Structure 1
Amino acid sequence: MTASVQWPVWSATARLLVTEPAALPEARVLTERLLAAIDLACSRFRPDSELARHPAGAPAPVSPLLAELVRTALSAAEASDGAVDPTVGGAMAALGYDRDIAEIRVDDRDLPVTVVPGWQHVMLTGTTLTIPHGITLDLGATAKAYAAHRCATDIAVKLRTGVLVNLGGDIATAGPAPHGGWQILVQDKENDEPCTISLPAGAAITTSSTVRRTWRRGGRLLHHVLDPATGLPAARTWRSVSVVADRCVDANTLSTATLVRGPAMVRAHGVPARLVAANGSISTLGGWP
């Protein structure tokens, strides 16, 4: 028997399931507390966030949490050969995504020409961070997946329960799973063909999408997954990519990189993946599901 609760967070929905119903209230408190800490550490939309207040151009100390979030983003960039690059923040803002997605209005101006500086310019040594002038970090691609993993792990350890944390399509599990595994409905949009899989204890799954988090600029419908090579949204070859991996950040890195550069990296890692093309056709890899 499981118990669940959900609530809005970060322009998405947080959903929490536990195998010990009595643990649910405290599990939610732990989750909300950590999500609030991560938001305060690295939100691109909060002038009071630690990342927004970090001085440019010189080494400066940061909190252990922000250091871990930046380290996670840089590791994802390296693992994806730059396909998932946290230095897209400036390009994202130039395209109009400089506030919460719900607050963006239609903009008739032409699309800007921007250059993504590249993650290699950001230096992190321990808890000392150097962000060169002109670089705006966007940790959103990895911070949400990191949050899901961290919340699930903390809840399982502290409350001795099986747990699933779903943060807008980034799903992490920890502790014992229900009998038969965690049943996951994989369906990006309501009119997409659904697929239900059984996720074993400790596994993670993410779905990255080009049809969610969209806005209009210069007569075009834009989405939030940028190609660092162009500074523009990745081509809509795929509508969505779902990947199963041991860690939520790894699954997110692979699903996002696939939207940007295609399925070669997923194939190389041999992980289960489900790709929905622009025309709705479905491809599966790595023994999915």
Structure 2
Amino acid sequence: MPMIETLPVRPDTAQWPVWGTVARLVVTDPTVLDQAADLLRDELAAVEQACSRFRPASEIRDVCRAGGRPVVVSSLLADLVGAALTAARETGGAVDPTVGGALCALGYDRDFAELAGRVIGPGVRVFPSPDWRAVRLTGRELTVPRGVLLDLGATAKAFTADRAAARIAERLGTGVLVALGGDIATAGPGPDGGWQVLVQDRPGDPSCTIRLPAGSALATSSTAGRVWGGRAGELLHHIVDPATGRPAPAVWRTVSVASVSCLRANTLSTAAIVRGHGARRLLAGVPSRLVTPSMRILRTGGWPE
């Protein structure tokens, strides 16, 4: 997982493990920290119940078991799936929520904390994704083709960071930063000088400190964070190229993108990993920081300093 951490600033901070990563909350008004943490925990629990593919009783698993029949879902799940389908459309399918089956075939069929150290044996079948256009969402009516397993991992965390930050700021009247691993969203008034954020993937990787203006967001996608053992000693990572059903070639170790929303930033950073050598064309004019496997750094689009 990307290790992007806020530097010490005036607001008070809370953090705890969640979804195989760390949830970090920073507020500009320390007196509302406990209330803000409760709101964030509620958001995380609601999203997990709606769309976790690791929970047999989650709402999305029920839809995927419906055998291709339309199912009326909660407004939250409809919003989550809608965000994933929008990301697929905007990236030409580079970010595709129908990769769930491919991820399971690669061995990523449980929470990542349970996957660590596991080696996938020979004979594992992998396959391209069925294509996001096969999924139908009309209002709250969701239809998933028979045999398709949705995975919203490329967008749900960023969606949740945006949604939680906005709700905390609105309800408590505080400036807030919500970080879920490498997905960071801010809302409300920021501290003087903006939010200071340390961007670094793994220990020993190149780092930089940037200032995010209030209301902006940052996302980092990595081919080095969530990795596990595959066949013949290969290392697999969690960002799948939908065209092949295999982990995208590690042209980039990490891609970080700053944007107006965490969802938009994460959509672009994930798509850049999948596009590989086409990432710079995709990110033209977008504030981005790309790190190669040899730790060379490329900056584009006025990356914040």
What SS does the corresponding residue of 1:140 show, helix, strand or coil? coil
TM-score if structure 2 supplies the norm length?
0.93
The equivalent position to 2:30 in structure 1, one of 14, 17, 21, is 21
- Structure 2 residue aligned with 1:232: 246
1:72 is aligned to: 83
1:154 aligned partner, one-letter code: R
Deviation, structure 1 residue 134: 1.6
Q: Which residue of 2 aligns with 1:97?
A: 108
Paired residue secondary structure (1:120): helix
What is the aligned counterpart of 2:299 among 257, 262, 284?
284
Ranges in structure 1 where 5+ consecutive residues have no aligned partner: none
How far is 1:56 from its partner?
Answer: 2.6
8 Å CA contact retained: 1:188, 1:240: yes
**What is residue 128 of structure 1 aligned with on the other side?**
141
Q: 1:39 corresponds to which residue?
A: 48
2:265 is matched with which residue?
251
Contact 2:106 2:120 in 1 (8 A): no
Aligned equivalent of 1:82: 93
Whether 2:205 is the aligned partner of 1:192: answer yes
1:104-138 CA distance string (max 9 Å, x none):
21122144231210000000000000001121100
SS of match in other structure, 1:107: coil
1:110 and 1:221, CA in 2 relative to 1: closer, same or farther beyond 3 A? Answer: farther
Report if aligned partners of 1:56, 1:130 keep a CA contact under 8 Å in 2: no
Question: Which residue in 1 is equivalent to 2:286?
Answer: 271
Give the CA deviation at 1:145: 0.1
* Paired letter, 1:133: R
Aligned partners of 2:81 and 2:229: how far apart in 1? 29
Deviation at 1:272, TM superposition (A): 0.4
Q: Looking at both structures, which has the greater relative contact order when contacts are Cα pairs under 8 Å and sequence separation is at least 6?
A: 2
Comparing 22-31 and 213-222, the one that deviates more: 213-222
**Partner SS state of residue 154, structure 2:** helix
Residue type of the alignment partner of 2:246 = L
**Whole-angstrom CA distance in 2 between matches of 1:280 and 1:115:** 30
Question: Sequence identity, in percent?
Answer: 57
CA contact (8 A) 1:258 1:264 kept: no
Q: Does 1:207 align with 2:224?
A: no
User: 2:43 corresponds to which letter in structure 1?
Assistant: L
Q: Normalised by the size of structure 1, how large is the TM-score?
A: 0.98
Q: Which residue does 2:127 correspond to in 1?
A: 114
Is residue 5 of structure 1 aligned with residue 14 of structure 2? yes
Aligned to 1:216: 229
1:175 equivalent in alignment to 2:188: yes
Q: State whether structure 2 residue 172 is matched by structure 1 residue 159.
A: yes
Task: Work out whether residues 152 and 164 of structure 1, in 8 Å CA contact, stay in contact via their aligned partners in 2.
Answer: yes
Kept in 1, the 8 Å contact 2:241–2:247? The answer is: yes
In the TM superposition, what whole-angstrom CA distance separates every residue of 1:1-35 from its partner, at most 9, and x where no partner exists? 31101100000000000000001000000000010
CA RMSD in angstroms comes to 0.8
AA aligned to 1:24 is L
